[in-house]
Chain A
Amino acid sequence: MRLLQAQFTDFRNFVDATVTPGESLSALVGPNGQGKTNAIEAIYMVAALRPLRAVQRRALIRSGCQNAAIKAQVHHEQTGLVHDLEIVFRGKTRRLLRDAKEVSAIDFLGGLVAVSFTPDDLQLAKGSPEARRRFLDRALLNARPTYLRRALRYGKAMRDRNRLLQQQASDEELTAFDSILAEEGSYILRARGEYVHRLAPKLIERFQAIGQPAPNLAVRYASSLGEHTVEALMDRLTANRPVDRRRGSTSVGPHRDDLVFELDGALAKERASQGQHRALILALKLVELEDLTETLQEPPILLLDDMSSELDAARTRQLFHCVQSLQGQVILTSTHQPEHLPTILGHRRELVLQRVHAGTMSPAEQLFVPQPLESP
């Protein structure tokens, strides 16, 4: 998958800007506060239909404007086709177009598949379970578009159920919504469980390779349920109903679960050092990327926001080494002087450069990278 071009109109602080990334590595460079992250966010929106950072939809539109638009042109290697993807924001509403035809979110997703890696991600192992559930949900969404529909239905049915609990509605009415919750919840639980099961051995291997000497890592999906069948979830929802009525909310289901990392038997969120956290998250992102490449049979696009300020030199090079072995396209932001980038990244191929300054984007320029005398 290659992003050929992305164009933003009145998106955040951009009036009109075009990113034309290269085949492998592109860098958006400039001082902080000029709009580099906004550009990464615009590309990410086309892939995930949600911003990198939680914001009101209205805030995506440049202040004083009615509409904002993001257009992306994507080449799919699998089919050889080029697709035009467009999101148009107007007030709180959003329209999605694929090849100039209005489509639903489920049909829009998959047009561009991207994995993002931002400084916020480094909090993943330490932060709230919600962030880890979001990581799982985003990863699954990339791999299977119907996951979105299931997750949306689950969320809707749960808000309905919580309202019924608060109103002390009849058991018959609650049972109707419990059935939907059990059906969609079981799908989500199984999808997440399978994903973690598949990812865990690869993650452990990768973590050991990065963090030498590394403690023993264990990864598991910690569920509020022992079994992930529709019947098991339905039984628990029924059993917990009296408690849930008192609390006015739903106490069991995938929305209560967590992705747990343990180092030498202790919870990583409590025990891991800063360096171990970074190694863990780096390993997790790399494994996510590899797994997605396998599922899609082509590498997704990797969006890196300001990573070299967060990762040390060795880790940054490890990240790039791995990314390049996947042959994927990488778009990154950096505050470094462009001529230092090849050294920082250990990058030895073409590098496309665009400078971001006060909501404007300079035309793409090729930065020629001197070939090494001998291969490492």
Chain B
Amino acid sequence: MDPLARLIQVLGRFPGVGEKTATRLAFFILRQGSEFARDLAQAVVEATEKVGYCRRCQNLTDIEVCMICADTRRDPNLLCVVEQVQDLRAIERSREYRGTYHVLHGAIAPLDGVGPDDIKVKELLARLSQENQEVQEVILATNPSVEGEATALYIQRLLSPMGFKVSRIASGLPMGSDIEYVDAATIAQALVGRRLL
């Protein structure tokens, strides 16, 4: 296959990238010259070779134990379970949470053929069964979708008998937005989850 066609085909495998965008990206790369191309190729290879799962929390990292797990200022009593690394990053951006994490890399989705063994549940249990571990409360921060909800319920039923305090993040009105602009589903959920003052 001619090299340009091959490049377009490879780029076209990115999610959300069609042939048109792939072609534009290929031309962009060609215009940048060989130094950019070598940089790009090296970055891709290095990332795929060096980045793996953190031994403790399954976050993506290039060291054995990720920066968050290695940070002694984090609260070891709190563990927040998320579906994806992107979710962890979103929670980190809030700077409100100082505990540790566990990344599942997915949610239980029977219709997609994803069971508990296909996500990092075993790793979570193994980690929480260790004698010297300090976690007291597990916060389940999976998505409010049917799959995310079922995954949270599944994990809760495994952890409660082990003596952990298990909590679920609240869903409701987004801060900084007026009620009149919030969609009906979110308002309904916020009303169900109301609390006494």
Task: Scan A102-119; emit 1 where CB is below 8 A from any B CB, else 0.
Answer: 011011001000000000
Task: Report whether B110 and A149 are in contact in the complex, using a CB–CB cutoff of 8 Å.
Answer: no
Task: Report whether A160 and B109 are in contact in the complex, using a CB–CB cutoff of 8 Å.
Answer: yes
Task: Report whether B110 and A145 are in contact in the complex, using a CB–CB cutoff of 8 Å.
Answer: no
Q: How far is the CA of A172 from the CA of B159 in the complex (A)?
A: 12
Interface residues in A287-341 (C-beta closer than 8 Å to B): none
Q: How far is the CA of A161 from the CA of B154 in the complex (A)?
A: 13
A320 to chain B, nearest CB (A): 34
Please tell me the size bucket of the interface on B. 10 to 19
Task: Report whether B185 and A106 are in contact in the complex, using a CB–CB cutoff of 8 Å.
Answer: yes
Task: Scan A156-175; emit 1 where CB is below 8 A from any B CB, else 0.
Answer: 11011101100101101101
Q: Which of A176-184, A251-259, A359-367 binds B?
A: A176-184
**What's the dominant secondary structure at chain B's contact region?**
helix
A232 to chain B, nearest CB (A): 18
A171 to chain B, nearest CB (A): 10
Q: Which of B14-22, B70-78, B81-89, B144-152 binds A?
A: B144-152
State whether the Cβ of A146 lies closer than 8 Å to any Cβ in chain B.
yes
**Residues A172 and B108 in contact in the complex (CB < 8 Å), given A106-B183, A146-B185:** no
Interface residues in A178-204 (C-beta closer than 8 Å to B): 179-180
A192 to chain B, nearest CB (A): 17
Please tell me the size bucket of the interface on A. 20 to 34
Task: Find the B residue at minimum CB distance from A171.
Answer: B157
Interface residues in A125-175 (C-beta closer than 8 Å to B): 145-146, 149, 153, 156-157, 159-161, 163-164, 167, 169-170, 172-173, 175
**Residues A104 and B185 in contact in the complex (CB < 8 Å), given A160-B109, A164-B110, A176-B153:** yes
Residues of B contacting A103 in the complex (Cβ-Cβ under 8 angstroms): 183
Task: Report whether B153 and A175 are in contact in the complex, using a CB–CB cutoff of 8 Å.
Answer: yes
Binding site for A on B (CB under 8 A): 108-111, 115-116, 146-147, 149-151, 153-154, 157-158, 183-185, 188
